[in-house]
């Protein structure tokens, strides 16, 4: 048993959660529930009143946070302490959105000047590409950017670019290549003109197989279109913390944008890894994104726990995972521009908190990170929401919606909003057997049939949800929103005492993949692996079944 599950607070939470009445009842008991259980910060508004909580639950959750020394842990992260204890690294993505006058020390030096220099280098580059000053090898301006990277060096830039579509610079398009499946790069290159295409290769380590392979294929394609080796500098730039490897690979030293070991891949969109975003939306908008995140950092570092948005959201997730047996959490974005956000939060949270031992190596005896999934509303309402309403699993939901649309058109947005709010209401209230029966009062069915149908129409309700609103989806509100989820992930990791910043499981996949690749390329059939893997490799080597 760990100390956490043995603690008085843990046991008190178990008792509290087993005694709470249905949320309908909680709302009826307290007319102030919405006012008391909502919070505003950094342009975001969170209504968390539709959760299985009362004042005691909240108090106990914040006690749990205090007992985990959360405030100290937050300070340690912002301070640059080496909190990633298995890779011996500080965790300072917050420094990427700090103010120029701040001083943040990592490995004995103030890192803010380097961050500012990189932003200035990005600004110069973005300006020159957007203005058309940067010319391709035949003197034409750049029209297409192909961003090559994977994991953290892909999803952040892609999802943020997609979310900020209304802010794109006219005349520039961006295509993202991640998968090593040749179809990905081949399909993207179809229709592109080498003379007007710029490749941004993003790899923190400069050692990721997919990214190196895709970049080499991009270079081959570029040269096959009639360009020469000398032309590469005008069409290939790299973002990496391994400048030496990038130069050895043939990248022009002037075209390398640095990043650092103290930025984790899945937290890196704020660094030069965000270059594709900046190219599309311009540097002012990129800085507004950083500013939104910075505002959330300040809120997270200074607001009392009970008014601290990331802390509240994290503790609610701890509540469902550890006290209600929830194994997944769904993110529902009621905004087409935010359709990719669930996948981004999935990477952020599952790569961070998919862990089973505490920082000191003890096996946990409680659930850690849940499965994060989701999609775009209202589409999901016609599919998986059925399971949210009437399935056997408890799946807490986050509904995210801007109040104003970038595309105001007729009644569309009113309908979108009414669906969003209507879903949270239905999840919370449910429908009793009596209500279902009453709805059938005018039906011609006999009593027995009515009763059967009513039974199928019962929805238990009491299903938790958060509603997150913002005035409009802007670079600033988006920055705050993403930072909110980053910190939510951090807080959960702090409660569970796990390292949210390493990813050894993913590393193993890379290593085994390389071993198998050697067997595939060997002169003889594979015999060294397990029976299944040997057989699969050998079938593959034959190229047919």
Ligand X SMILES: O=P(O)(O)OC[C@H]1O[C@H](O)[C@H](O)[C@@H](O)[C@@H]1O
How crowded is residue 361: how many other Cβ atoms within 10 Å of its Cβ?
Answer: 8
Closer residue to ligand X, CB minimum distance, 323 or 490 = 490
Q: Element (H or E) spanning 479, and its range?
A: helix 475-496
Residue 77 contacts by C-beta under 8 Å, 6 or more apart in sequence? 83, 91, 92, 94, 490
Please give the residues from 232 up to 271 whose contact with ligand X meets the rule CB under 6 A. 265-266
Is 382 labeled as catalytic in the residue annotation?
A: yes
Q: Which range binds ligand X by CB under 6 A, 108-116, 151-159, 162-170, 511-519?
A: 151-159
Q: How far is the CB of 503 from ligand X (least distance, A)?
A: 4
Residues 469/402, Cβ–Cβ less than 8 Å: yes
What whole-number distance in Å separates Cα of residue 290 and Cα of residue 287? Answer: 5
Q: Is residue 153 near ligand X by the rule CB under 6 A?
A: yes
Measured in degrees and rounded to the nearest 5, phi and psi for residue 401 equal -150, 135
Q: What Rg value do the Cα atoms of the chain yield, rounded?
A: 26
486 is catalytic: no
Nearer to ligand X, 153 or 467 (CB): 153
Please name the residues in contact with 58: beta carbons below 8 A apart, sequence gap of 6 or more: 306, 315
Give the residue among 301, 310, 237 at the shortest CA–CA distance from 493.
Answer: 310
Q: How far is the CB of 150 from ligand X (least distance, A)?
A: 5
Site for ligand X in 154-213 (CB under 6 A): 203-205, 208, 211
d(CA 197, CA 236): 9
Identify each DSSP E strand in 425-479 by its residue range.
465-472
What is the CB neighbour count within 10 angstroms for residue 24? 14
Percent of the chain that is helix, strand, coil (3-state, to 5)? 55, 15, 30
Identify which of 177, 220, 284, 274 has the alpha carbon closest to the alpha carbon of residue 235: 220
CA atoms within 13 A on the CB side of 298: 12
Q: Can you tell me the distance from the alpha carbon of 333 to that of 375, in angstroms, rounded to the nearest whole number?
A: 6
- Phi, psi torsion values for 196, nearest 5 degrees: -120, 15
The catalytic position among 88, 190, 382, 524 is 382
Is 298 marked active-site? no
Do residues 37 and 51 touch, judged by C-beta distance below 8 A? yes
Residue 135 is classified by DSSP as: B
Using alpha carbons only, give the angle 23, 28, 30 rounded to the nearest 5 degrees.
95
Dist. CA 500–CA 68, nearest whole Å:
15
Largest CA distance in the chain: 83
Q: What is the C-alpha end-to-end distance of the chain, expressed in Å?
A: 50
**Binding test (CB under 6 A) with ligand X, winner from 473, 503, 519, 526:** 503
Q: Taking a C-beta distance cutoff of 8 angstroms, is the pair 250, 151 a contact?
A: no
For 265, residues 6+ apart whose C-beta sits below 8 A from its C-beta are 151, 152, 153, 204, 503
Other CB atoms within 10 A of residue 298 CB? 15
Residue nearest to ligand X (CB): 265
Is residue 151 within the footprint of ligand X (CB under 6 A)? yes
Distances (CA, A) of 75 to 31, 69, 70, 190, 315: 37, 10, 9, 49, 18
Question: Beta-strand (E) ranges in 142-301?
Answer: 144-148, 173-177, 197-202, 236-240, 256-258
Least distance from ligand X to the Cβ atom of residue 151, Å: 3
Q: How many residues would you count in the chain?
A: 545
Question: Mind telling me the catalytic residues?
Answer: 351, 382, 510
Binding site for ligand X (CB under 6 A): 150-153, 203-205, 208, 211, 265-266, 351, 503, 506
């Amino acid at each position: 048993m760990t100390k956490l599950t043995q603690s008085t607070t843990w046991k008190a939470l178990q008792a509290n959660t087993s005694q709470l009445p249905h949320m309908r009842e909680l709302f009826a008991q307290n007319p102030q529930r919405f006012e008391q259980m909502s919070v505003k910060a950094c342009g975001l508004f969170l209504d968390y009143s539709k959760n299985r909580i009362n004042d005691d639950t909240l108090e106990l959750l914040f006690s749990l946070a205090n007992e985990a020394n959360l405030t100290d842990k937050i300070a340690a992260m912002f301070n640059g302490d080496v909190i990633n204890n298995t890779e011996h690294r500080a965790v300072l993505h917050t420094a990427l959105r700090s103010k120029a006058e701040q001083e943040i020390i990592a490995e004995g030096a103030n890192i803010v000047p380097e961050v500012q220099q990189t932003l200035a280098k990005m600004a110069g580059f973005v300006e020159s590409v957007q203005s058309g000053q940067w010319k391709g090898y035949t003197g034409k301006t750049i029209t297409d950017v192909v961003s090559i990277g994977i994991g953290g060096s892909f999803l952040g830039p892609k999802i943020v670019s997609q979310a900020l579509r209304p802010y794109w610079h006219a005349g520039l398009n961006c295509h993202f290549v991640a998968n090593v499946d040749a179809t990905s790069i081949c399909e993207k290159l179809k229709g592109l003109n080498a003379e007007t295409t710029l490749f941004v290769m993003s790899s923190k380590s400069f050692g990721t197989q997919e990214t190196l392979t895709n970049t080499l294929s991009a270079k081959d394609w570029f040269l096959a279109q009639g360009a020469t080796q000398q032309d590469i500098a005008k069409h290939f730039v790299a973002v990496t913390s391994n400048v030496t490897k990038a130069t050895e690979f043939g990248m022009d030293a002037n075209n390398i944008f640095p990043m650092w070991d103290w930025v984790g891949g899945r937290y890196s969109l704020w660094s030069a890894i965000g270059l594709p975003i900046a190219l599309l939306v311009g540097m002012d908008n990129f800085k507004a994104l950083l500013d939104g995140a910075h505002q959330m950092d300040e809120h997270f570092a200074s607001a009392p726990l009970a008014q601290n948005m990331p802390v509240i959201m994290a503790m609610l997730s701890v509540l469902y995972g550890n006290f209600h047996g929830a194994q997944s959490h769904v993110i529902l974005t009621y905004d087409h521009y935010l359709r990719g956000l669930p996948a981004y939060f999935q990477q952020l949270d599952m790569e961070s908190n998919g862990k089973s031992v505490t920082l000191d190596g003890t096996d946990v005896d409680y659930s850690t990170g849940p499965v994060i999934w989701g999609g775009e509303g209202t589409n999901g309402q016609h599919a998986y929401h059925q399971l949210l309403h009437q399935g056997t699993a408890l799946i807490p939901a986050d509904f995210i919606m801007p109040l104003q649309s970038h595309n105001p058109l007729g009644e569309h947005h009113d309908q979108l909003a009414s669906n969003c709010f209507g879903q949270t209401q239905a999840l919370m209230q449910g429908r009793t057997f009596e209500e279902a029966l009453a709805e059938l009062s005018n039906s011609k069915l006999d009593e027995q049939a009515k009763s059967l149908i009513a039974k199928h129409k019962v929805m238990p309700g009491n299903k938790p949800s958060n509603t997150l609103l913002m005035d409009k989806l802007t670079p600033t509100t988006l920055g705050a929103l993403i930072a909110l989820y980053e910190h939510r992930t951090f807080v959960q990791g702090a409660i569970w005492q796990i390292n949210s910043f390493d990813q050894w499981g993913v590393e193993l996949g890379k290593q085994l993949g390389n071993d198998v690749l050697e067997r595939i390329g060997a002169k003889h059939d594979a015999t060294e692996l397990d029976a299944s893997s040997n057989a699969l490799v050998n079938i593959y080597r034959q190229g047919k079944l």
